């Protein structure tokens, strides 16, 4: 198993108290290997990945979608994942 590409993403944790709401951003990294894609809490075998897509949201980033045989998973990204998607399509999806 070898690393092909990395993509930073964020997880937003919302904390609500009786007087305020606070959003906490946790920076994480998604890893594309020749056999699987790994995030902090999930592993997707390459055979289960059907496609990847990206949708720009506002001016600060967008959503990276992993289309899998078990559903679609979305990840908030602040930088374009085009390189990550291209590497997937070049090395995996042929």
Residues 55-82: pLDDT tens digits? 998 777 899 999 999 999 999 999 889 9
Contact criterion met (CB below 8 Å) for 69 and 43 = no
Q: Tokens at residue 63, please? A: 């959503």
Question: Higher pLDDT residue, 38 or 1?
Answer: 38
Compute the radius of gyration of the chain from its Cα atoms.
15
CATH architecture entry for 3-91: Roll (2.30)
- The predicted model scores a pTM of 0.87
Contact criterion met (CB below 8 Å) for 53 and 20 = no
Contact criterion met (CB below 8 Å) for 28 and 8 = yes
| pLDDT per position as a tens digit, 3-35 | 999 999 999 989 998 899 998 899 999 999 999
| pLDDT for res 74 | 96
Give pairs for 42-50: CB < 8 Å, separation 24+. 42/73, 44/68, 44/73, 46/92, 49/88, 49/92, 49/93
């Amino acid at each position: 198993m070898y690393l092909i590409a990395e993509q930073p993403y964020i997880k937003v944790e919302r904390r609500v108290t009786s007087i305020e709401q606070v959003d906490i951003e946790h920076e994480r990294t998604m890893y594309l290997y020749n056999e699987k894609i790994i995030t902090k809490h999930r592993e997707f075998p390459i055979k289960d990945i059907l496609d990847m897509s990206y949708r720009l949201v506002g001016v600060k980033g967008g959503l990276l979608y992993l289309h899998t045989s078990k559903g679609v998973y979305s990840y908030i990204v602040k930088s374009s994942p085009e390189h990550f998607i291209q590497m997937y399509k070049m090395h995996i999806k042929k």
